[in-house]
């Protein structure tokens, strides 16, 4: 920063991976950052997500924020293969639909990735147990005042900054203040999720069976298609297997501000019974032996027309709620943060409007196409109809139809913005 120029200050609302990534990128751009997070402490588990896949660009960006870049490699497993299988539940047979052996992702556990990113930040910038209440702009719209409730004391405090970064997730209240009629779009399905820790029973029947059925576990992202349903399966570091099972379901009634549903023992029992009918016995057994499975209700949203208003900017799921089918949510959040940081560094505080306009220009078209493609992938894999084609049937699918399932078909799959010079 040039001598005599004031340092910009950003208030980031939401301390999940999108918010923490923004903190890294904005500090790198020479800004002062405060992150407001309503939870009370560093998460040790992942209530709303377990495993995730990191693409090459996201990994390079994250590594640039870490004091020891190899820490990311050490805490993830390779996903060098991407395979789609199918099952005929009646005939009890499975077969390969398509396989990509040049897949270059890595599998991370949400809490492990979060801890890496958090520990690489100055610890004082994250304000835990601070619940966002409201914000207001100064008369000349050059400053923003954020009110937050300190949950440990009940006090309300105000923080003044130059920029408000809304990283408050798909149910963003900041976005709602600009788009009061905005609504999430229910995808038509919910996802059972779970992580099986097999570190103490590597030679159990269940693990031997699942590794025989999915021989490339440890380096392969498997998608398994059944009749109007599909699942994902891959291994995480430290002998853990992450699985997701999508089920077509009427939209459930959510309570609170989370898209994660609490489940009862009865719900889990019925899910186990259904798994026995739908999946090969090895996968059904894996599901049955997983402790504390949970349900994510799957939403996305039609692409927004803009991502910034004055000195307020949306990032992550607040900017582009998406279904998980394209493995884009975390990757898009990391890229949002990096692009925002580079734009602020390029234009400087005195040209904040131009910086935010360039961020929007770079990220909006890419994120919009990826959200819509992920939506399409979800409908194809669930056997749901599309306007331009019949419902996908694994039993009769052509080679071209199977190739459409591959993640490398996602728009801008391997593109990096020139702004990042990576």
Among the candidates 249, 274, 300, a domain finishes at 300
Would you state the structure tokens that stand for residue 326, as one six-digit string?
């394209």
Co-location of 355 and 412 in the same domain: yes
Using pLDDT thresholds of 50, 70 and 90, give the confidence band for residue 52: very high
In a domain, 157, yes or no: yes
The answer to whether residue 1 scores a pLDDT higher than 60 is no
Among the candidates 300, 315, 340, a domain finishes at 300
Question: 144-150 and 156-161 as β-strands: parallel, antiparallel, unpaired?
Answer: antiparallel
- Please tell me the total count of domains within the chain: 2
Closest CA to 52 of 299, 290, 328: 328
Residue-level pLDDT at 47: 46
Range of the domain at 103: 81-108+185-300
Rounded-to-integer distance, Cα 87 and Cα 67, Å = 45
Co-location of 267 and 134 in the same domain: no
Q: In this structure, how many other beta carbons lie within 10 angstroms of the beta carbon of residue 267?
A: 14
In a domain, 395, yes or no: no
In a domain, 394, yes or no: no
Name the burial class of residue 21, with classes exposed (0-12), middle (13-18) and buried (19+) by CB atoms within 10 angstroms of its CB: buried
Co-location of 358 and 305 in the same domain: yes
Residue-level pLDDT at 411: 95
Q: Distances from the Cα of 47 to the Cαs of 61, 97, 321, 337, in angstroms?
A: 25, 32, 18, 23
State the CATH number of the domain containing residue 258.
Answer: 3.30.9.60
Instruction: Identify the sign of the CA torsion 346, 348, 352, 354.
Output: negative
Could you please report the per-residue DSSP string of 113-147? HHHHHHHTS-GGGEETTEEEEEEEE-TTSS-EEEE
Using pLDDT thresholds of 50, 70 and 90, give the confidence band for residue 48: very low
Co-location of 26 and 53 in the same domain: yes
Co-location of 236 and 287 in the same domain: yes
pLDDT digits (tens, 9 = 90+) for 90-106: 888 999 999 999 999 99
Residue-level pLDDT at 252: 85
Co-location of 19 and 151 in the same domain: yes
- pLDDT (average), residues 294-304: 94
Could you please report the per-residue DSSP string of 22-81? HHHHHHHTT-EEEEE-SSSS--SS-SS--EEEE-HHHHHHHHHHSSSTHHHHHTSEEE-E
Would you state the structure tokens that stand for residue 374, as one six-digit string?
């992920």
Co-location of 217 and 283 in the same domain: yes
- pLDDT (average), residues 94-119: 95
Provide the strand spans (E) within 151-210. Answer: 156-161, 163-166, 185-197
State the CATH number of the domain containing residue 322.
Answer: 3.50.50.60
Rounded-to-integer distance, Cα 234 and Cα 54, Å = 13
The per-residue pLDDT of the chain, averaged, comes to 93
Closest CA to 280 of 96, 99, 98, 88: 88
Question: 185-197 and 294-300 as β-strands: parallel, antiparallel, unpaired?
Answer: antiparallel
The answer to whether residue 45 scores a pLDDT higher than 80 is no
The answer to whether residue 314 scores a pLDDT higher than 60 is yes
Instruction: Identify the sign of the CA torsion 202, 206, 209, 215.
Output: negative
In a domain, 64, yes or no: yes
Using pLDDT thresholds of 50, 70 and 90, give the confidence band for residue 361: very high
Residue 418 — φ and ψ, nearest 5°? Answer: -60, -25
Q: How many CA atoms lie within 13 A of 268 on its CB side?
A: 15
Q: How many CA atoms lie within 13 A of 411 on its CB side?
A: 14
Co-location of 121 and 205 in the same domain: no
pLDDT digits (tens, 9 = 90+) for 171-193: 999 999 999 999 999 998 899 99
- pLDDT (average), residues 37-55: 77
pTM of the predicted protein model: 0.94
Co-location of 283 and 196 in the same domain: yes
Name the burial class of residue 414, with classes exposed (0-12), middle (13-18) and buried (19+) by CB atoms within 10 angstroms of its CB: exposed
Rounded-to-integer distance, Cα 118 and Cα 107, Å = 19
Q: Quick one: three-class SS letters along 293-330?
A: CEEEEEEECCCCCCCEECCEEECHHHCCCCCHHHCCHH
Element containing residue 13 per DSSP (H, E): strand 9-13
In a domain, 2, yes or no: no
Which residue did the predictor score with more confidence, 360 or 123?
360
Would you state the structure tokens that stand for residue 144, as one six-digit string?
């923003």
Co-location of 218 and 318 in the same domain: no
Co-location of 196 and 309 in the same domain: no
In a domain, 3, yes or no: no
% of the chain beyond a pLDDT of 70: 97
The answer to whether residue 322 scores a pLDDT higher than 70 is yes
Co-location of 339 and 229 in the same domain: no
Among the candidates 300, 329, 353, a domain finishes at 300
Which residue did the predictor score with more confidence, 248 or 159?
159
Residue-level pLDDT at 49: 55
In a domain, 86, yes or no: yes
Rounded-to-integer distance, Cα 383 and Cα 225, Å = 9
Q: Most distant CA pair in the chain: distance in Å?
A: 75
Closest CA to 34 of 170, 153, 158, 140: 158
The answer to whether residue 41 scores a pLDDT higher than 90 is no
pLDDT digits (tens, 9 = 90+) for 128-171: 999 999 999 999 999 999 999 999 999 999 999 999 999 999 99
In a domain, 267, yes or no: yes
Closest CA to 118 of 181, 24, 34: 24
């Amino acid at each position: 920063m040039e001598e005599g120029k004031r340092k910009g200050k950003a208030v980031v609302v939401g301390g999940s991976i999108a918010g923490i990534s923004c903190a890294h990128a904005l500090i790198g751009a020479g800004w002062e950052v405060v992150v407001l997070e309503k939870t009370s402490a560093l998460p040790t588990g992942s209530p709303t997500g377990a495993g995730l896949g990191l693409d090459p660009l996201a990994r390079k960006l994250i590594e640039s924020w870490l004091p020891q870049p190899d820490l990311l490699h050490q805490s993830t497993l390779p996903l060098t293969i991407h395979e789609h299988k199918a099952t005929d539940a009646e005939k009890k047979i499975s077969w390969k639909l398509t396989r990509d052996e040049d897949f270059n992702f890595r599998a991370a556990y949400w809490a492990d990735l979060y801890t890496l990113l958090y520990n690489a930040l100055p610890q004082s910038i994250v304000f835990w147990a601070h619940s966002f209440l409201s914000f207001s702009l100064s008369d000349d719209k050059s400053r923003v005042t954020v009110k937050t409730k300190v949950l440990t004391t009940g006090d309300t405090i105000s923080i003044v900054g130059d920029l408000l970064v809304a990283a408050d997730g798909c149910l963003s209240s900041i976005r709602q203040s600009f788009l009061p009629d905005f609504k999430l779009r229910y995808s038509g399905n919910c996802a059972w999720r779970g992580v099986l820790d097999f570190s103490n029973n590597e030679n159990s029947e269940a693990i031997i069976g699942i590794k025989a059925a999915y021989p490339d576990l440890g380096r392969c992202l498997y998608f398994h298609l059944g009749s109007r349903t599909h699942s994902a399966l891959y291994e995480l570091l430290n002998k853990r297997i992450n699985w997701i099972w999508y089920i077509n379901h009427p939209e459930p009634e959510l309570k609170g501000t989370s898209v994660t549903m609490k489940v009862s023992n009865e719900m889990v029992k019925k899910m186990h019974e259904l798994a026995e009918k739908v999946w090969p016995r090895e996968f059904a057994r894996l599901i049955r032996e997983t402790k504390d499975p949970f349900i994510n209700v799957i939403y996305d949203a039609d692409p927004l027309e803009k991502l910034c208003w004055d000195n307020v900017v949306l990032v992550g799921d607040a900017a582009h709620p998406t279904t998980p089918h394209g493995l884009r949510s975390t990757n898009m959040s990391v890229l949002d943060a990096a692009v925002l940081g580079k734009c602020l560094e390029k234009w400087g505080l005195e040209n904040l409007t131009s910086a935010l306009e360039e961020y929007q220009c770079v990220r909006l078209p890419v994120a919009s196409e990826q959200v819509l493609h992920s939506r399409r992938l979800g409908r194809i894999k669930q056997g749901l109809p599309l306007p331009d084609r019949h419902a996908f049937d694994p039993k009769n699918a052509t080679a071209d139809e199977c190739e459409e399932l591959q993640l490398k078909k996602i728009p801008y799959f391997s593109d990096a913005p020139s702004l990042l010079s990576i």
